[in-house]
Amino acid sequence: MAGDVLAFGEALLRLQPQGDARLDENGPLDAYPGGAELNTCYALAGMGVPVSWFSVLPEGPLGRRILRHLRGGGVDCAHVRTAPGRLGTYWVEYGRDPRSIDVVYDRRDSTVCRVRREDAPWEALRAARLFFVSGITPALSPETRTLAIEMAETANAAEVTVATDLNYRARLWPVEEAAPVLERLARAAEIVIATADDLRTVFGISGSADSMAAAARDRFGCRTLVLTLGGEGAVALDDGARRACAVFPSHSRDRIGAGDAFTAGFLYGWLSGRREQGLDYGLAMAALKHSVAGDTLATTRDEVERVMARGDRGIRR
């Protein structure tokens, strides 16, 4: 596959009590690297796509842990910068019914929040085939906001495809602050991925799935609008063509990162010339992510396509 993907985003470390333990109890913690763009890059690399991830990590063992994880998954980290500072973390308590999943973030003023314009790999950006940034990155700090928008608009001007998952996070910024920034990001993108909840909450777009997708596509002026619908699957308007796909069966061991796996699958379909199958790849990869622990999905194209074929999930000998 010709060309590269370049992504810009934050790295986090997820800390989680083992089993069904609670955060306020003593006991061992599992630790998983994560972050929206990081997760997407990791899954794309497993599909054989050449991907590069750009960020600013803290000097020391935690930054090295993130790099080791990404490099082990085949992600190019040549554009990653390091600086004194801290790595953002988030703490997860997985609840079983009637308990919900509880998340506590500790990410304020991490090293990526102080990213500088001169840190960005401008030549690599203009040479990339696709640039990806989520709506989480501009929410982190004024510096990440300015750089994320500039990189997206620079890529657009250089005829590099820009893709974004709007990913509104209410804990990071209020709607009135987020809406104009996310709209500007979406207007710079050729591919926009959004949940129905985010379109309603941030932009006041409501109605049926098809009418919401059409309204968002018209508003942003993007070529491709993907609307994810949770357990109902997803729909896409792509160059005027409507496509839809239902979810694939899965065992929900760990839901975190499934949206990023979906994004990776959809982008894989677009990059590989299988645009009509982008939703299938995305939802198959989301189903696979549900079945494994951690934020990132390690998979292969063969495994994903077996899921898409709804084939045998028994013991493979």
Q: Catalytic residue among 260, 295, 302, 312, which?
A: 260
How far CA 306 is from CA of 36, 246, 262, 301, 310, in Å, comes to 25, 16, 16, 9, 6
Phi-psi region of 247 (alpha: psi -120 to 50; beta: other; left: phi over 0): beta
Contact 259, 252 (CB under 8 A): no
CA distance 148 to 125: 12
In 3-state terms, what secondary structure has residue 3? Answer: coil
How far is Cα 235 from Cα 279, in angstroms, rounded to an integer? 8
CB 7 within 8 A of CB 41: yes
How far is it, in rounded angstroms, from Cα 205 to Cα 216?
7
Per the DSSP assignment, residues forming a β-bridge with 8 are 54
| Active site annotation includes 260 | yes
The answer to whether 72 and 33 have CB atoms below 8 angstroms apart is no
Buried b (16+ CB within 10 A) or exposed e, 11-42: bbbbbbbeeeeeeeeeeeeeebbbbbbbbbbb
CA–CA gap between residue 182 and residue 149 (Å, rounded): 9
Distance, in Å, from the CA atom of 223 to the CA atom of 203, rounded to the nearest integer, reads: 19
Cβ-based neighbours of 82, under 8 Å, separated by 6 or more: 56, 57, 58, 59, 63, 111
Catalytic site positions: 260
